[in-house]
Structure 1
Amino acid sequence: MASTTFSPLASASPSASLSSQAKLNTSFRNRIKLKPWSYEHGLLSGKDLSRGQIKMVATVNVSRFEGITMAPPDPILGVSEAFRADTNDLKLNLGVGAYRTEELQPYVLDVVKKAENLMLQNGENKEYLPIEGLAAFNKVTAELLFGADNEVIRQQRVGTVQGLSGTGSLRLAAALIERYFPGSKVLISSPTWGNHKNIFNDARVPWSEYRYYDPKTVGLDFEGMLEDIKAAPEGSFILLHGCAHNPTGIDPTPEQWEKIADLIQEKNHIPFFDVAYQGFASGSLDADASSVRMFAAHGMELLVAQSYSKNLGLYGERVGAINVVCSSAEAATRVKSQLKRLARPMYSNPPIHGARIVANVVGNPELFNEWKQEMEMMAGRIKSVRRKLYDSLCAKDKSGKDWSYILKQIGMFSFTGLNIAQSENMTNKWHVYMTKDGRISLAGLSAAKCEYLADAIIDSFYNVS
């Protein structure tokens, strides 16, 4: 008689043998057992087993996670995933906001390397940080933001807690709002950085939008912004971009900032700044912090999230802070204690390496001056690329369209004014990877690629509805 060998690997997939009822039952106690099988006996007997045959029992568990659907790609980080899969030599990644050299290579600041060498020489340990983070970092980051001689620093009215870069610092602040200001609304600019809404949704903090971008002028809708802030419920949190607004690159003028501050104070709102590009927007640390310092000078209580991903290139170190300016030192101490309480079950304590880099750079006069020079170099390259792109657009576009809004924007991003379909054409036809809102990262562009990018923008603008 011909022998038959049973292989569980050759059997039908588990899902094919399960009834729909079994598929829905996700209890660990409910398991489907496939019995041993043979043509002759139906079951392998003890006699069969004595001849060295192995009794095979395949157990199939229906996953408790069967109902979890596949998440969509991240609208920003997903751009890089698509870029890596593209084999075209002309491809450009203008999606993620990370600085690149003229050769489009990642850049580690020289001052960061020197700070790390100092850390090695000092034999720094890797012990846990306190919940609030590295004390030396918290001191220098608050002073860098407000100015060491600012009265909020001198009066110890700032509660500072090290956070997981900008995202983690915003999320910690959102948890504070949810717990101690229940029902309060956060107003977010339209448009804004893609993760802002995720952060407040995850923290269960209600939010709405205020007008910011005017597509007709590709500029600031200042009157609309003021109207929406004025109409917000008293005591709302107003999320503001301290400098280099993401994604538009459009910032209020100093005079407009004054009017915004006056209105927020009049309405008893609480300003909440996201400062992700201090020193990286204009090349000046003080100029890029001027909006925050203006609000502090008005005597307002405010929140400020900071990040060192861009200005020190510490993208993967996840180093930042949440600062809360209070009306008294006692209030700042209490707020800091509650931020620590919220951080403990979230991530326990922050990472040490990036915080030490910042503390060494800012706390060392020689390294600090070198850092400022490197920031000016990076900001200068981005400004140069912005000008080159503008010149290329003007030279190639014979319609007379005014592209000057490109020059009026500031920071590492440019809001092109392209819609979703046009942005998709940029990717599908020209292999230019960008977010669907029309934002491009000039930090990922080289002067040599500006003419190619201008061709792509002009084609998409005029030939795609």
Structure 2
Amino acid sequence: MSWFSDVQLGPPIEVFALSKQYNDDDFEQKVNLGVGAYRTNEGKPWVLPVVRAAEKALANDETLNKEYLPVLGLEAFTTAATKMLLGEDSPAVIQNRAFGVQVLSGTGALRVGAEFLARVLGKKIFYYSNPTWGNHKLVFKNAGFVEGREYRYWSEKNRGLDFEGFITDLRNAPEHSVIILHACAHNPTGSDPTEEQWIQIADVIREKRLFPFFDSAYQGFASGDLIKDASIVRYFVKQGFELFCAQSFAKNFGLYNERVGNLVVVLDNPEQVAAVKSQITLLVRGMYSNPPSHGARIVSRDNIRTMSSRIIEMRRLLREALERVGTPGDWSHITQQIGMFSYTGLNEIQSENMVKKYHIYMLRSGRISMCGLTPSNVDYVAEAIKDTVTSLPNV
């Protein structure tokens, strides 16, 4: 008998299955609104000019080699990335109680941080927003957490943040629970708390002695402003919180397949840094040993504004098109949301209709990637949404 005869077929990962379905479709007007990657106005992938320039410079630099990096990564990268998130004037940076660990993109940052919390600190319960990025639950469970719980986030009725539900669920969380928070451009809803709401969230987290773990996948990409998109993490640090933050450079620098990430660790006491680093070193050593150098060497701050501006413009065009053709309902949430994704408010049946009838590929949750919209397809998408919500009303 084969060792593998009892292995069951795992469920497909929706976003990747959707992309394959799109690629196999020969319909001329097909649209991919599932892909979480930037696209130009022509719907093409874009490599940032600064990345092209950096890669040419790296190829011609005879002083570089292919030796192993340290287990915790390229220090020049982790230092720059940490300061990009926290700011040069951050009290944690100035007092040498914050550091970065180069990891395998944002997913790797979440996994390394979660493993440390579960295996070294003994954390058992984590909270994630309902809805959240689909990989949060899998990463934390695989890292050793015993239980994942939801906190309310999205209000279907208001097509916006359910703040009262959010706060209530945080207040009911057991002490020492880990709370996953989206630093900006919440994935998948695109709806963020206001500054005043974030202050209340921070107060409850402090009062209940919860541990904040930020996921920052869109710094600079959401608004075009690096400082604005990091403001909530910086606020928590200035309020004296110890925290983790997973940084990804896949979206904001277009380095999807280079797997460039940084785990930012903020502690109370600089004397604790060496011990924490030593434990993270052991975790990484037993996981993937050390990170790749190429992506870390080409990270730069340029060209982010170009991408964020196009996405903001597509939000405006989609809302205008939906209103122009007389689509039932209020579509103001499209422009009120921020970042790469939008929770349209379409239900599962409506979303499946968009795929089957119109070849517009989107997740069953109603989430779309704004990157898949272009000036040439936005009217087609708007007409499809109008027909769908008219023929299949959301009851």
Which category describes the TM-score, using the shorter chain as reference length? over 0.9
- Tell me which amino acid in the other structure corresponds to 1:68: V
The match for 1:387 is 316
Q: Which has the higher contact order (CA 8 A, sep 6+)?
A: 2
1:42-98 Cα shifts (integer Å, max 9, x gaps): xxxxxxxxxxxxxxxxxxxxx210111222210122211111111111111111210
Matched-pair contact (CA < 8 Å) for 1:191–1:247 = yes
8 Å contact kept, 1:160–1:336: no
Contact 1:393 1:458 survives alignment (8 Å): yes
Out of 358, 366, 370, the position equivalent to 1:438 is: 366
- Preserved contact between residue 186 and residue 237 of structure 1 (Cα < 8 Å): yes
TM-fit CA distance, 1:119? 1.3
Give ranges in structure 1 of 5+ residues lacking alignment: 1-25, 27-62, 362-367
Match of 1:91 among 22, 30, 39: 30
CA contact (8 A) 1:302 1:324 kept: yes
Tell me the TM-score normalised to structure 2 length.
0.97
Equivalent residue runs for 1:46-57 within 5 Å: none
Match of 1:267 in 2: 208
Which residue identity does 2:138 align to in structure 1? N
Distance 1:299 1:204 in 2: 27
Aligned residue for 1:381, secondary structure, equals helix
Match 2:226 to one of 271, 285, 288 = 285
CA distance in 1, matches of 2:335, 2:367: 14
Q: How far has the Cα of 1:398 moved from its partner?
A: 5.5
Matches of residues 173-212 of structure 1 in structure 2 within 5 Å? 173-205=113-145, 206-212=147-153
Q: 1:233 to 1:116 in 2, by over 3 A?
A: same
Question: 1:159–1:333: 8 Å Cα contact kept in structure 2?
Answer: no
Q: Tell me the percent identity.
A: 50
| Structure 1 stretch displaced more, 310-319 or 120-129 | 120-129
Show the counterpart of 1:44.
Answer: none
1:16 aligns with none
Matched, 1:171 2:111: yes
Aligned twin of 2:345: 417
Aligned pairs (5 A) from 1:398-413: 399=328, 401-413=329-341
**2:262 corresponding residue in structure 1:** 321
In structure 2, give the amino acid aligned to 1:375: I
Match of 1:73 in 2: 12
* Secondary structure, counterpart of 1:447 in structure 2: coil
Verify: 1:125 aligned to 2:54, yes or no: no
Give the Cα separation in 2 of the matches to 1:102 and 1:144: 29
User: Which structure 2 segments of 5+ residues have no match?
Assistant: none
Paired residues, number = 391
Matched, 1:111 2:50: yes
Is the CA contact (8 Å cut-off) linking 1:160 and 1:324 kept in structure 2? Answer: yes
Matched, 1:152 2:92: yes
Q: Is the 8 A contact 2:79 2:99 kept in 1?
A: no
In the aligned structure 2, how far is the partner of 1:264 from the partner of 1:462?
Answer: 43
Map of 1:46 onto structure 2: none
CA-CA distance at 1:333 after TM superposition:
2.3
Q: Is the 8 A contact 1:283 1:379 kept in 2?
A: yes
CA–CA separation in structure 1 for the residues paired with 2:359 and 2:173 = 42
Give 1:420 shift. Answer: 1.1
- Given that 1:243 and 1:277 are in contact with CA atoms closer than 8 Å, whether structure 2 keeps it comes out as yes
Q: Deviations over 1:260-283 (max 9, x none)?
A: 111101111111100000000000
Asked if structure 1 preserves the Cα contact closer than 8 Å seen for 2:180 and 2:212, the reply is yes
Using the alignment, how far apart are the partners of 1:447 and 1:386 within structure 2?
11
CA distance in structure 2 between the partners assigned to 1:348 and 1:225 by the alignment:
38
AA aligned opposite 1:446: T
Pairs within 5 Å for 1:299-338: 299-338=240-279
SS across alignment from 1:128: coil
SS at match of 1:429: helix
Find the partner of 1:376 among 305, 308, 328: 305
CA distance in 1, matches of 2:76, 2:345: 43
SS in 2 for 1:96: coil
- Residue deviations 1:159-189, cap 9 Å, x none? 3211100111101111112112325311100
1:276 and 2:217 matched: yes
Matched letter for residue 279 of structure 2: Q
| Aligned mates of 2:327, 2:44 — CA distance in 1 | 33
Which has the greater radius of gyration? Answer: 1
Comparing 103-112 with 151-160, greater Cα deviation is found at: 151-160
| Equivalent-residue separation in structure 1 for 2:52 and 2:40 (angstroms) | 17
Using the alignment, how far apart are the partners of 2:352 and 2:239 within structure 1?
A: 45
Q: Is the 8 A contact 1:104 1:446 kept in 2?
A: yes
Query: Which range moves more in the overlay, 323-332 or 238-247?
Result: 323-332
More deviation in 276-285 or 259-268? 259-268
